[in-house]
Amino acid sequence: MISINLANPSVVTRRRIRRRVRQWTLTLTVAVALLSIPVWLEYSRQYQVRTLNSELTVNRQLVNAAQEQIKQLDIEVNTVRAQLARANALRAKRSWHGLITRIASATPDAVWMTSLATIPAVAPSGNRSISPNSTRDKKNKDAEQSATIVTLDAPREMVIEGYSTGQPAIYDFVSELSSSQVFADVRLTRASEERLSDGKAIMFHVRCAW
């Protein structure tokens, strides 16, 4: 079968050109779209990084502020502890005037005292015992040094030393102290005979606990 193309050659050429332009336009469009995907992904990644860095900066500022507040609270807690320790020590203090008067009234005529000592010993005025906390992080070392705890340890026992002309007087002395209701426990811990310049006497140690 014989076909005859009656179309104008210029029209056919223009159609071919338009067809090729459409093909190239589609190809370029697809190529640009494929090339833009990595660019968009990189931009998105950088945006996320910037956002995370901003959030990290804000969080670091919040953490630093919280750490400063914790240090301040540590100082305040240590101050309160020191005040409580002082208050407890003051409550534990004895009325020494009344105590000595009671001991003197319980002392028989045949007994004379040479020494009164407390356990632990009463610290001189102005001395302080510093007791730092044992479980602290190194980050809070400055707070520990700025607020130490002052512990005033009150006496818990008293040791009375003296002499007597006989054992019965010593037993009477211990009995009087026990019945005074001042001490919770009174014990004769030592009694030995010693020779003095004017005769013999019995040296004794009495331990009294509150």
pLDDT given for residue 150 in this prediction: 47
Among candidate residues 202, 194, 193, 207, the one with its CA nearest the CA of residue 158: 207
| pLDDT over 50 at 127, yes or no | no
- Residue 187 to residue 114: CA distance in whole angstroms: 17
When pLDDT is cut at 50, 70 and 90, the band that residue 6 belongs to is: low
- Residue 174 to residue 33: CA distance in whole angstroms: 107
| pLDDT over 50 at 109, yes or no | yes
pLDDT given for residue 172 in this prediction: 93
Residue 157 tokens, joined: 């026992």
When pLDDT is cut at 50, 70 and 90, the band that residue 94 belongs to is: low
Q: Which helix (H) or strand (E) holds 5?
A: none
When pLDDT is cut at 50, 70 and 90, the band that residue 153 belongs to is: low
Centre a 10 Å sphere on the Cβ of residue 75 and count the other Cβ atoms it contains.
Answer: 16
C-beta of residue 202 within 8 angstroms of C-beta of residue 167: yes
pLDDT given for residue 126 in this prediction: 44
| pLDDT over 70 at 33, yes or no | yes
Residue 101 tokens, joined: 């008067």
Residue 44 tokens, joined: 């998105």
| pLDDT over 90 at 111, yes or no | yes
CATH of 96-120+155-209, one of 3.30.1360.100, 3.40.190.10, 3.30.70.980, 3.40.50.300: 3.30.1360.100
Centre a 10 Å sphere on the Cβ of residue 118 and count the other Cβ atoms it contains.
Answer: 15
- Residue 128 to residue 124: CA distance in whole angstroms: 9
As a whole number, the mean pLDDT across the chain is: 79
